[in-house]
Amino acid sequence: MKIVVYTADSEVPFNEFYKPLSGWTKIIFSNKQNIRFDENAVKALSPKGIRDSNDASIRYIPDEDDSIFFVPLEMKNIFTKQLKRLFKTTEWEDIAAQKPSKEELGLGGSGDKLAQFYDNIVKVVEILVPKKCSNKELERLLNDIIQEDNLINAVFVYYFDSTMLCKSAEDSEIGKSLIDGIDSISFDTLKKVYHILVHFGKIAKRGHFVYGTFRFSDGIFNLYFSNKIEQLVIIGFFSTTRNKLLLQDCEQAVERIEKVI
């Protein structure tokens, strides 16, 4: 599924809330100011989704879903909020892709007003797709951990071979800022730090390096290095507390995470 956020210098050439571009999986929503947002229509047009086996209220968007929704920039926030209600755990990311071609969308020829509007007037601002976590059980666990009665506000799991396996959801402004921080991390640098500390442990005969704690003026970052599966995994925990992030909470979470990766 894709959400193509667009702007246009003129209004769409139809009076309805939306119009199929081709079939019912390629939809463009009106940018006319006098058109009211229709939650029921968005719900009906959205993918049915896959229900979570443990929580029937949670649905996932199938990876193979090929629907595309063209949403005017003015409608983006209310549209994504509606999808958030339908797909509670789904987060979105901008893939910086190019505008889909008329041929890709199956639009008509030069005499088609909607095709002309799309081809000549529509400008793409961003293209959003669901963030993927291939391990749905892990994704659910990370989101459970940050909701529990502990000091953990964000979690990520990273394969040492340079693959981000999964991150907790951006369920608040704090969560979003922490996830943005995760996205800015240079993991190559982090690996160098790990190898230095492993080397130190061997020379000093202090055993295996297990975790590190990084203290900020407004938060704590606990970083665990787990080798209990086939490859080394980095598990990071963030807390906005100024007090000590309870190691017991993190260690219990690490044990749970190791069981599902």
Long-range pairs of 45-50 with CB within 8 A, sequence gap ≥ 24: 45/18, 45/69, 46/83, 46/86, 47/1, 49/86, 49/87
Kindly report, residue by residue over 216-253, the tens digit of the pLDDT: 888 889 999 988 766 788 999 998 886 666 788 899 99
Report the alpha-carbon distance of residue 103 to residue 54 in Å, rounded. 41
Question: CA 190, 149, 90 angle in degrees (round to 5)?
Answer: 65
Q: Which of 88, 42, 38, 39 is nearest to 67 (CA)?
A: 42
Answer yes or no: are the C-beta atoms of 235 and 224 closer than 8 Å. yes
Strand order in the sheet with 219-226: 163-167, 154-159, 233-239, 219-226, 211-216
Fold classified for 136-260: Beta-Lactamase (3.30.450)
Kindly report, residue by residue over 95-151, the tens digit of the pLDDT: 877 898 888 888 876 568 898 899 899 999 999 988 766 677 888 899 999 999 888
Kindly report, residue by residue over 65-103, the tens digit of the pLDDT: 889 999 999 999 999 999 888 887 677 888 877 898 888
**Close Cβ partners of 211 (under 8 Å, ≥ 6 residues apart):** 222, 223, 224, 225, 250
Taking the domains of the chain in order of start, what are their residue ranges?
A: 2-130, 136-260
Strand partners of residue 157: 166, 235
**Close Cβ partners of 48 (under 8 Å, ≥ 6 residues apart):** 59
- What pTM was computed for the model? 0.55
Phi, psi of 189 (to 5 degrees): -65, -40
